[in-house]
Amino acid sequence: MTTENTATTRFTLSREAGNIGPAIRRIWASRWAKIAAILVAIPILAYIALWFLFARGLPSADKLLTYEPALPSHVRGINGEVVQTFARERRVVLEYEEYPRQMIEAFLAAEDRTFFQHSGIDYPGILRAVITNLTSSGRPVGASTITQQVAKNLLLTNELSYTRKIKEAFLARRIEDVLSKEQILELYLNQIFLGRNAYGVQSAARAYFDKDVDELTLPEMAYLAILPKAPNNYNRPHQEQRAIERRNWVLAEMERNGFITAAERSEAQAAPLGILRGPRDTVDNVGGYYMEEVRRLLVGKYGEDLEDGPHGVYSGGLWVRTSYAPRMQEAAERAFRDGLMRFAGGKGWRDPGLSIDVSDDWRGQLAAARFGAGYDDWRAAVVLSKEGDSATLGFIDGSQGTLPASAASMPKRGTGTPAFNSLQPGMIIAVKRNGDSYALRSVPEVSGGMIVEEVATGRILAMQGGWDVRGSVFNRATQAKRQPGSTFKPIVYSAAIDGGMTPASIITDGPFCVWQGAGLGNKCFRNYSGRSAGPQTMRWGLEQSRNLMTVRTANMTGMDRITKLARTLGVGDYPNYLSIALGAGETTVLQMTNAFAILANNGKEVKPTMIDYIQDRHGKVIYRTDTRPCEGCDAPDWNGKPMPRPPLRTKQVMDAMTAYQVVHMLEGVVTRGTAQRLRDLNRPLFGKTGTTSGPNDVWFIGGTPDIVAGVYVGYDQPRSLGGWAQGGRIAAPIFEEFARATIVDRPIVEFRAPAGIRMVRIDRRSGRKVFGTWPSTSDPKAAVIWEAFKPETEPRRSIRREQIAEREAATAPVRQAAVRREDDSDFLQREGGIY
């Protein structure tokens, strides 16, 4: 047998792609490979660490897609013009396409010339900033791109730190992934703060040049581009040269980047700066009590800022349409202040009791002081110094003036010494320009409120809640609860007519007492004069404002019916006490004026409103006072059919004929009663004066078929106005001045009687039906008048012309003697409304 040697065979498996393991091990064995791997890993690990430390809690950039900056709210008046703006940040938002090309290029040259090339971060700029900050100890230098500034302004805080810079970088990359370059620039140009409370370029253009962005010249655009970094360094007169140098640098950068030619740069650099001394308001900003009340309503409905919701007053960009009538508001303010001045005239100068420290920022303190001068030609001033026969005054705008002693010679109230002697440095006073100097003025202590309302709609056309809202924001027209006095009497007689009485019903004007219980005993009422006139018609009692007739009527009618009607008319919720019939229950001018508007509207409900509708920043109506549907009202063209009208939704809160009968009697108050001074206005007017006990407050409420106004005058802490004070002497003249400025130019409209009213000739003293003669159109105190009656309620008894003539002849000597003893007007005024 043959033995054979067999060799051992070894097999090794390998991948077809080749054996890379040994190759990797050979490369890793190299020292340079390890160094390279570490260098690559360091930035990756650093990025991961930075992301975990800073980027995880950052806000999402996606919300910038729906970002809406804080915008001011604008208020329009009844004619559609903007009259007020509520803003903490002056801003107007434009789209990218609305910005001029050179405006964009100016900001790119000044802030970020490589904006359209980088991806949100300027790495070379960051490196230069790091080196600068490491080698200097001053304020850290930034290298923020426009994208980073958007991230800081909209998503981060203004914290000055490297941490914020790192967060900016992360957010900038995210923003670049979400928004286009044009969208980023639009956000930037609309958001950036440029000084003078201007946020965004359009607002800054108005603040500095009173122009829109498309009206700016090249040097003006370049000036705005220098403002983002330090707006307060370039907007004052003493900084003009510094601003010009910086502006010219921007122009040079624009030329270097090819945005403008050398000739354009040279011409623009030669131009003066041309900025305004201070920002100009493009809106009148009428302010006053009316706009303060609108602001209160809006804040109560939507809040103030973004945290309160999307429609905050100072951030939501609302467009508010109101019933504010500029001409009527101006007339109401003037008439009301004139009335207060007439009352306070001759009582000497009143020290407002306000003072500031003139050694430290007196301008700021004066601006913040709760003091309102009132009239447009009066100014709030502070006494800076006083030497010899003159005092130096300071004003809010920083200017100064002189008050000579001769212009402050009126006596100080309560003393016999001239007011000038009482002036001390730091005192805040009111003055009026008098040639080259100023004269001292006295702001009345007495105050009050006034409302002007449209009868058919309840829209408030004007409102004055005191002397000046800058001195007191308390609105006495809507917030002050006062006793209305005799202006409440029409409600009493309305309830009585509903109960079956008529304007010709005979009521005894004589002593009247009621038993109030064992503890209180008898309560006896009286007229102001202490006299009584015996049986008289209801009309006469209302015209002459007789208290005894009113409480007797209330007692016969039932106080429960009267207080129920007062609640229905929105005047107030009162207990069933007889004193309420004489106006002892508290209410506001707004509530009483609206009740008279319901009377003039033939008993149809009207609710006082100031806001017609509200639109959001996009123009969508989010609130309407009138919510009635109106099919076809918004049709693009007329279809040949009758004009579409919304359905009537007014509620009849009292009988229409009753309302007209009371209004017809209140016309007599103006014709021959306690408000007869208004007769000279020569138009249909109704109204009622009122004077409360004390007398503490005086009232007048009345108007035409279209407009009703109400006014009261009194001290904030109720006290007597003086024994001579009467509604017809103090409050009615305020309405008269207002009416002469506004109402007398309007078409003459008669009060319209509702269907069913019967107009009957009666003797106005006896209330009996008259035959054989007609009412006089020329004699306001004629014996025969037209009276309004409901069907089947006119008087059954009659009186003939001969009987009236006999009565007039018999009483003529007595009436002539009375005229010789006292003025008839004074007598009528004295008889009105005191309880």
Q: Which of 144, 203, 486, 579 is catalytic?
A: 486
**Are the C-beta atoms of residues 605 and 598 closer than 8 Å to each other?**
yes
3-state secondary structure 571-588: CCCCCCCHHHHHCCCCEC
Angle at the Cα of 363 from the Cα atoms of 358 and 368, rounded to 5 degrees: 105
Token output for 81: 């013009």
Q: Which long-range contacts (CB under 8 A, 24 or more apart) does 651-656 make?
A: 651/604, 651/605, 652/603, 652/604, 652/605, 653/568, 653/569, 653/598, 653/603, 653/604, 653/605, 654/494, 654/498, 654/565, 654/568, 654/569, 654/598, 654/603, 655/498, 655/603, 656/602, 656/603, 656/604, 656/754
Q: Which residues lie below 8 Å from residue 749, measured CB to CB, with a gap of 6+?
A: 684, 704, 705, 706
Cis preceding linkage at 695, omega within 30: yes
In this structure, what token pair is assigned to residue 248? 């010219």
Nearest residue to 512 (alpha-carbon basis) of 502, 521, 503, 522: 522
Count of C-beta atoms within a 10 Å radius of residue 590: 23
Is 486 known to be catalytic? yes
Q: 680: buried, middle or exposed (CB in 10 Å: 19+, 13-18, 0-12)?
A: exposed
Residue type, 299: V
In angstroms, the CA 826 to CA 832 distance is 10
- For 127, the 3-state DSSP assignment is helix
3-state secondary structure string across 46-81: HHHHHHHHHHCCCCCHHHHHHCCCCECEEEECCCCC
Q: Which helix (H) or strand (E) holds 326?
A: helix 326-344
State how far the Cα of 307 lies from the Cα of 95, in Å rounded to an integer.
25
Cβ neighbours, 10 Å, residue 211: 13
Q: Taken in order 109, 112, 116, 122, is the CA torsion positive or negative?
A: positive
Cα–Cα separations (whole angstroms), residue 460 to 74, 241, 634: 18, 52, 26
Question: Which residues neighbour 94 within 8 Å (Cβ) at sequence distance 6 or greater?
Answer: 186, 189, 190, 200, 201, 202, 213
Q: Which of these is catalytic: 73, 105, 111, 144?
A: 111
For residue 472, indicate whether it is catalytic: no
Q: For the residues of 584-602, what is the DSSP string, one character each? A: -S-B-HHHHHHHHHHHHTT
Angle CA(795)–CA(800)–CA(803) in degrees, nearest 5?
115
Which residue is associated with the tokens 């008087």? Answer: 795
CA 554/CA 560 separation, integer angstroms = 9
Within 8 A by CB and 6+ apart from 740, the residues are 681
Catalytically active residues, by annotation: 111, 486
